[in-house]
């Protein structure tokens, strides 16, 4: 009779896709809380602003990590090069969105900025914590 290894609670067995799912869920919850608090304190425009600021960070981060997960499944030798390129592209796109896209008159800059900052911190924390609990060897 062989002893089976018991899976630890919250262990990630889905690799990069598991990291993506948890990061998206945690960040979406944090952005929703930011929007709710902003809306309660400063009204609907602040809630929408928080949703926009945090949502943009969430979208760009999710696309970057989805690309990494997809490449890991298909061409592992290209992951490092393309993930660095995707990261740079993400920063450039976010910078372009901030400078080229005209600012809507209803945008509350403080709410959008705070939600974007919260989204970045929560995304990074979730990504690192799930990566540390990933069962399969990533590299």
pLDDT tens for residues 13-61? 888 999 999 999 999 999 999 999 999 999 999 999 999 999 999 998 9
Q: Residue 91 contacts by C-beta under 8 Å, 6 or more apart in sequence?
A: none
Q: Is residue 137 part of a domain?
A: no
Q: Is residue 10 part of a domain?
A: no
Q: Is residue 3 part of a domain?
A: no
CA 64 vs CA 9, 11, 56, 83, 138: distances in Å? 27, 23, 12, 7, 17
Q: Give per-residue pLDDT as tens, 79-137.
A: 889 889 988 988 888 888 888 989 899 999 999 999 999 999 999 999 999 998 886 55
Q: Is residue 1 part of a domain?
A: no
How many domains, the chain? 1
Q: Is residue 4 part of a domain?
A: no
Query: Both tokens of residue 16?
Result: 């990069």
Give the three-class secondary structure for 102: coil
Length of the chain: 139
Give 11-42 as a 3 state SS string: CECCHHHHHHHHHHHHHHHHHHHHHHHHHHHH
Q: Is residue 50 part of a domain?
A: yes
| Structural domain of 92 | 15-132
Query: Both tokens of residue 90?
Result: 């993400």
């Amino acid at each position: 009779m062989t002893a089976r290894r018991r899976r630890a609670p919250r262990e990630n067995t889905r690799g990069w896709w598991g990291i993506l799912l948890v990061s998206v869920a945690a960040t979406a919850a944090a952005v929703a809380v930011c929007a709710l608090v902003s809306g309660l304190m400063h009204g609907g425009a602040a809630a929408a602003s928080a949703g926009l600021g945090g949502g943009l960070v969430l979208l760009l981060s999710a696309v970057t990590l989805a690309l990494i997960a997809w490449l890991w499944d298909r061409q592992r030798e290209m992951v490092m090069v393309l993930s660095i390129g995707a990261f740079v592209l993400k920063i450039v796109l976010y910078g372009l969105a901030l400078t080229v896209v005209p600012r809507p008159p209803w945008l509350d800059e403080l709410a959008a900025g705070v939600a974007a900052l919260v989204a970045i911190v929560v995304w990074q924390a979730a990504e690192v914590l799930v990566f540390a609990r990933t069962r399969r060897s990533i590299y």
